[in-house]
Structure 1
Amino acid sequence: MAHVNKVLRSINLDGETICVDIFLRPDGSFGFDEFRRDPEDGRGWYSIGHHGTGRYANEDQALRAALDTVGWLADALDA
């Protein structure tokens, strides 16, 4: 299944193995999720937050919800 969401912003934790993506859905709603990848595993990124079903009216609301939910995100944005 192809990914249909458009990633607007990807914020990486140091080491670039964990990130939060802020995305736009085809229906015009916004969302976010937390992902992980293991360099030794070639399958790529996979969800570890399982927050991707939340719906927000705009990118800023999705980012604020991500900041309230993902503990490390505020520090990564301040870096």
Structure 2
Amino acid sequence: MSQRIDKSWVVLRSIENSEHDRCVDLFRRPDGSFGFDEFRRDVEDAGLWTPVAYYSAAAYASDEAALTAAVKTVAWLAMALNPAGKAT
């Protein structure tokens, strides 16, 4: 988790790419809103997850809405969710 993910936010799902060097966390805030953010993990950072974008400021009414926004925003996420390219 990054420094930007508030400790009061509950991470519902963490989705990694196939290289395991990028992830998107979907989370719920205490006020009932949802959000997401993207992170990277590099050798020079000792393998720690480092935020790469500031998507966590946006609030969504549901976890599904946050996931939909994340898929539209994070280029690699759709492939990570559906690596075989199968219709869902």
TM-score by length of 2: 0.80
Letter in 2 for 1:20: V
Q: Distance in 1 between matches of 2:47 and 2:21?
A: 13
Measured in 2, the distance between the counterparts of 1:22 and 1:41 equals 22
**Paired residue total:** 79
2:29 equivalent among 8, 22, 25: 25
Deviates more, 1:36-45 or 1:11-20: 36-45
Find the partner of 1:70 among 70, 74, 81: 74
Which of 5, 17, 34 in structure 1 is aligned with 2:9? 5
Aligned-partner residue type, residue 11 of structure 2: V
| Backbone CA RMSD of aligned residues | 1.7
CA distance in 1, matches of 2:80, 2:66: 16
User: C-alpha distance in 1, partners of 2:81/2:47?
Assistant: 27
State yes or no: 1:59 paired with 2:59: no
Moved more, 4-13 or 43-52: 43-52
TM-score (normalised: structure 1) = 0.88
Larger radius of gyration: 2
For structure 1, the 5+ residue unaligned runs are: none
List alignment gaps of at least 5 residues for structure 2: 84-88
Q: After the TM superposition, list the runs of 4 or more consecutive aligned residues in structure 1 that deviate by more than 6 angstroms.
A: none
2:8 alignment partner, SS class: coil
One-letter code aligned to 1:49 = A
